[in-house]
Amino acid sequence: MKTVDLTRTGGGEPPSDLYYEALSGKEGILTRALWEQVFPEDTEEFLRYYFREKITDARIHVLKDDKGRVVSMVHANPYEVMIHGVRRRAYYIVGVATSEPYRHRGCMAFLLQKAVLQAKSEGCPFVFLMPADAAIYEPFGFRYAGQHSIWARSAHLKERMMRELPSFSDVGSLRISAHASSDTVRLRISAYSSSDAGVLAAYAEKTLAERYDTYCVHDEAYFERLSRELASENGGIYLLWRQECEEACKNKIEENQTVNEERTVAEKQAGNEERTVAEKRTNDTLCGYFCYACEGEEYLQEVIVDREAEALFYEKSREERIMFLSLEGACAYGRTYFPEMV
């Protein structure tokens, strides 16, 4: 199999009847017509989200015809990544598409090289993508690195969500047996809100760093944007909270009462409602999250949970999903975690 080196300058030229242009920010809206033509499965809600938010910091490489119409494109969306404890920026390649009359003329190879060279000039360690067909990208040096688990909700979790959460806005509480313990763990499940961004980001970063060597940074901005993305796909982020046993809760309540008695009247009057909410959560510890979406059929985009919550899900399969093209020579990525993204 012949490999085309996209990392070297001096590549081929576009077809003579087309001209190249780099778009950024809101200019990306010019590619929407081609996107809708090539990816008709995407809903209006998703397209509205993508072309309002994702293109704002994207690098978009296009070829236009003599009438100024975009006939071929490659979108490169930036993500912060961790590689063995070092934070870097990398580009996720999406929206690789060419209008049918211009296919098989070298448009994709030309634009891929433009995207790769720009990423390399910015010092990115790699570019990555989720291919519809790996055979398309293998000649350009893209290779899989690790497998990704495909998860599904257990029958128990489905039943509870359907019964207690008609609109999937609040799930209530689940009670499951703890592993390797005679105690009972009570799990509370809540729908994500912006106030959860900080604690969720802290949990995700700690857990991912323990389990993986190379992964996409899950900071507050990541979850805020992801929640809007999932909303455009009839889904959302759901948090799993571990509730302490009754004796521990009783002790915690007594401690809180003692502290409250020592507060001045003024302190009690100020922010009383906010304290009540915070105290209700004092006894809960975040022990996982999952991302649900449903376009035609449901899928779980991410499932990151502690051991006691594993019984709520089952692994349908393990697949190679993300391909990488290293821009720094041979790179040992180790254990990788890159869920489906846009």
> pLDDT tens for residues 161-219?
777 665 554 455 555 544 433 344 688 888 899 999 999 999 999 999 999 999 999 99
Burial class (CB in 10 A: 0-12, 13-18, 19+), 20: middle
> pLDDT tens for residues 8-66?
876 678 888 999 999 988 899 999 999 999 999 999 999 999 999 999 999 999 999 99
> pLDDT tens for residues 245-284?
544 445 544 555 554 555 544 445 544 444 444 444 557 8
pTM of this structure? 0.84
